[in-house]
Chains A and B, each alone.
Chain A
Amino acid sequence: EKHLVLLRDGRTLIGYLRSIDQFANLVLHQTVERIHVGKKYGDIPRGIFVVRGENVVLLGEIDLEKESDTPLQQVSIKEILEEQRVEQQAKQESEKLKVQALKERGLSVPRADTLDEY
């Protein structure tokens, strides 16, 4: 039974869940990391994953029948990575502008991810 795991750093892993423990540490088999950009997604095969529980955001079982009908379009790995890079860049730029604007007004909003990892 395939499972989909969302990690704290935003990665999506899909694999066969083999083992868990009370901390939600997971052992995933034949894992595939799926990157989503817009409507496209790309899969990177990773093998066996052992995930530490504290990094798991959520975990759900994939309904194999429903898995086939998604509106998403699968693309090659290179392409999806490229798309991701572009997206990241765009985000960073807008973020920079935002921070700049706020600074001018005297406010500084701490970035969420830096907060997260003290």
Chain B
Amino acid sequence: QSLEDCPLDEDEDAFQALGEEDEDIDQFNDDTFGAGAVDDDWQEAHERLAELEDKASSSREPDGPVGNDGDVLGDPEDALAERLTRLVIDSELEDPAIMQAVHTRDPPQPGGLNSSIWDSSAVLRRIRGPLLAQEMPSVSVLDYALPQRPLQARDEERDPSERALPRRSSSPIIGSPPVRAIPIGTPPKQAAIPNFNQQILCPKPVHIRATMQQRYPTPYGERMSPNQLCNVPNSSLLGHPFPHSVSPVLTHLQRAQLLGGAQVKLLPAGRMSPSQFARVSGLVGSPLPSVNPKLLQGRVGQMMSPAGGFRAFFGAPPAPPPSQLPHPPGPGSHLQNLRPQPQMFRPDTTHLHPQHRRLLHQRQQQNRNQHRSLNGSGGDRGGHRSSHQEQIRKDPYANLMLQREKDWVSKIQMMQLQSTDPYLDDYYYQNYFQKLEKLAAAEEVHGDGPKKERTKLITPQVAKLEHTYKPVQFEGSLGKLTVSSVNNPRKMIDAVVTSRSEDDETKEKQVRDKRRQTLVTIEKTYSLLLDVEDYERRYLLSLEGERPALMGERKQKICDMYDNLRGKAPGQDRPSDDHFMQIMCIRKGKRLVARILPFLAPEQAADVLMATARNLPFLIKKDAQDEVLPCLLRPFSHVLYHLPLGTVTSLVQQLTNLPQSAAAPTNLHLTAVLQNKFGLSLLYLVLSRGEELQSSDTNTELMQDNQWTELMLMATRELLRIPQGALAKPVSIPSNLISLFSRYVDQQKLNLLETKLHLVQGIR
């Protein structure tokens, strides 16, 4: 009875159907987590493990075989399962085989391309009897793909013999980001640890079948000797957590691989924490009921030579008696002082901040020294162990994370920092540190102080690779698939701009549109401005040949900007100020103008100034809320320095709106100007400039001189007239105003002016 057939009111039936479904679900559950997998109660196992740890820390029998403790473990399989998955393997993401697997995107085929590392470590499987690798069906779970990692950090650690296929150097062919069956987040060797922990602790482990990916294409003889295999940090390893109910029989090939890839950290004898277990038991490979991790631990002290260990193992019968389980020598010793072999575990700390790295190394050094001194006295294994134990006793939970795990996490984080254009992506960070470095360099030049290490975290930089997207194609099919993805976004909506007809619009709308247009113009001009400002940097970075082109571009952009400002009206002689005014009405526009002014040619800049002066009252009115006009003062003053007298004169004219017809009693223009901070300051600036020119320039034209004088007379008259209270407070008062005014007025009036305008310093 299917679920649909059961109407809701027929509760019984519904329940039954549900029950059936539940049963099905239960069945699956069982298979994965349940009875099908492991009989044991995970809680028990957990407790036992915890007990074990306590016992271990108190027991001091490093060599003691396992007999008594063996039972404590109870269910080594579970432990083993977990441990096996935590086998330290390769540099995960970089392994060519993995990448290979990724790129082909084929479902993993037995004996095929896919990496066995992933399969093995990620999967628990059930093995029955002599069922061996070859019969393992492939696992689809592991059909994940990894993005190509350009990091080359671990190149030297690769095992050349394991490269089944040449590595790809380009990104995945397929445009879309590769699909990951296992989310990127999971740590590699313990790819399933997040999943697994739950599974292992659950009574029944996952029942996914995996291919025993053999990378054993080569017969044993051709492969690296166990010794070598041992030493290669990257060699992959099959770790199969097997349920204890099964006694798998591994071919010696498998075992070889297992052992070969294993990197074991020598365990301090006393330490029985689960994480340690993983490494030890993982090596064993075959999670036989008789396997006793404790036994293995016991072997720690023995330090069998790698070769011997392997051979012993290989010689062992399929159901290896515990006593013969050698402890595969760990090529990387926990503290690197127990094995004379070249260390493997030199953690990759390049990504760490230099200061951090220093601290870290210091600590490591200290530890090592500590141990060395301890070991020196002991000299034998016992000595080592005791030192280990001491350290462990201080903090039994320390080092829960393997160095690899840490490296892995930091690798991910560094990956995130990769950028093809750090200037673009990370402007503030880069700039900040550039400034710091400059400071430091400057300091260095001055003094001979100790060089402070202000090095920054060097973010990885990746060359930009151009990827042309090739849509996925299947052979033999017609046409192309339309698949949109991150790398190849597809247009979803067709947004069409429809311009409305003039008739329909109301006045308001027109105004609004006009304002919008102005805003658009401002934005466009702003981008031009930013580009222009950036040219200097690009100039420095570019090659010789490119520079003229860059300069040309820059000039063009500047012209464009100016056009935008003034409103492109090529036909007219005198473009109206209207456009400019619109821009100036908007706060951003004013700031834009201020920033553009330095780039403009003098005539253009003067033009802008004129337009501003001409319309100043209007602008002042509009600026009442924003009060951003003063920002224009500085660029204006720069411009002023380059202006000839004639221009200055006209400027004053504009500003003061003089001469004016006699009919107008008050000069509203000038009043407005004077009453505004910006206006007054600008006026002062202009006057000051004029005075400068007047006094310094010997051969000014008479005409201009006259004009100037006339203007000044009028201006001073006006200034005298204006009540003092109405005057604004200018930003700055140029010092030569007194001399200016003194030319045109008598002493009395001069005094008046002085007081009114606070020209004399100290009055304020």
Q: Which residues of A come within 8 Å of B, CB atoms? A: 16, 18-23, 27, 29
- Of the listed stretches B24-32, B394-402, B519-527, chain A binds B394-402
State in angstroms the CA–CA spacing of A22 and B409 once bound together.
5
How near does chain A come to B377, taking the closest CB pair, in angstroms? 27
- CB-CB under 8 A from B412, the residues of chain A are 22
| 22 examples of A-B residue contacts, CB within 8 angstroms | A16-B395, A16-B397, A16-B398, A18-B397, A18-B400, A18-B401, A19-B400, A19-B401, A19-B405, A20-B401, A20-B406, A20-B409, A21-B185, A21-B187, A21-B409, A22-B185, A22-B409, A22-B412, A22-B413, A23-B185, A27-B400, A29-B397
Q: Separation in Å of the A65 CB from the closest CB of chain B?
A: 14
- B residues less than 8 Å from A29 (CB atoms): 397
Q: Which residue of B lies closest to A21 (CB)?
A: B409
Chain B residue nearest to A30 (CB atoms) is B397
Not counting A16-B397, A20-B406, a sample of 14 additional A-B residue pairs whose C-beta atoms are within 8 angstroms of each other reads A16-B398, A18-B397, A18-B400, A19-B400, A19-B401, A19-B405, A20-B401, A20-B409, A21-B185, A21-B409, A22-B185, A22-B412, A22-B413, A27-B400
Roughly how many angstroms separate A16 CA and B185 CA in the complex, as a whole number? 23
Q: Which residues of A contact B405 (CB under 8 A)?
A: 19
Alpha-carbon gap, A3 to B760, bound state (A): 63
- Most chain B C-beta atoms within 10 Å of own C-beta, residue among A16, A19, A20, A22: A22
Q: Which residues of A contact B185 (CB under 8 A)?
A: 21-23
Least distance between B364 CB and chain A CB atoms (Å): 13
Q: How far is the CA of A18 from the CA of B185 in the complex (A)?
A: 18
Contacts of A27 in B (CB 8 A): 400
A21 to B405: give the CA distance in the assembly, Å: 8
In the assembled complex, which residues on chain B have CB atoms less than 8 Å from the CB atom of A16?
395, 397-398
Task: Give A18 to B409 CA distance when docked, in angstroms.
Answer: 13
**Beta-carbon nearest neighbor of B194 in chain A:** A21
CA distance A27 to B406 in the complex (A): 13
Q: What string of 1s and 0s marks CB contacts (under 8 Å) between B394-429 and chain A?
A: 010110110001100100110000000000000000
Which residues of chain B are near A23, meaning CB under 8 Å?
185
A21 CB contacts on chain B under 8 angstroms: 185, 187, 409
**Shortest beta-carbon distance, B264 to chain A, in Å?**
21
Bound-state CA distance A21–B193 (Å) is 12
Question: Smallest Cβ distance from B181 to chain A, in angstroms?
Answer: 18
Complex CA–CA separation, A92 to B375 (angstroms): 61
Chain B residue numbers with a CB within 8 Å of A18 are: 397, 400-401
B386 to chain A, nearest CB (A): 23
In the assembled complex, the Cα of A19 lies from the Cα of B185 at a distance in Å of: 14
Q: How far is the CA of A23 from the CA of B187 in the complex (A)?
A: 12
Query: Shortest distance in angstroms between A59's beta carbon and chain B's nearest beta carbon?
Result: 13
Question: CA A14 – CA B397 in complex, angstroms?
Answer: 16
Query: Which single residue of chain A is at the shortest CB-CB distance from B410?
Result: A22
Which A residues are in CB contact (< 8 Å) with B398? 16
Min distance, Cβ B212 to any Cβ of chain A, angstroms: 29
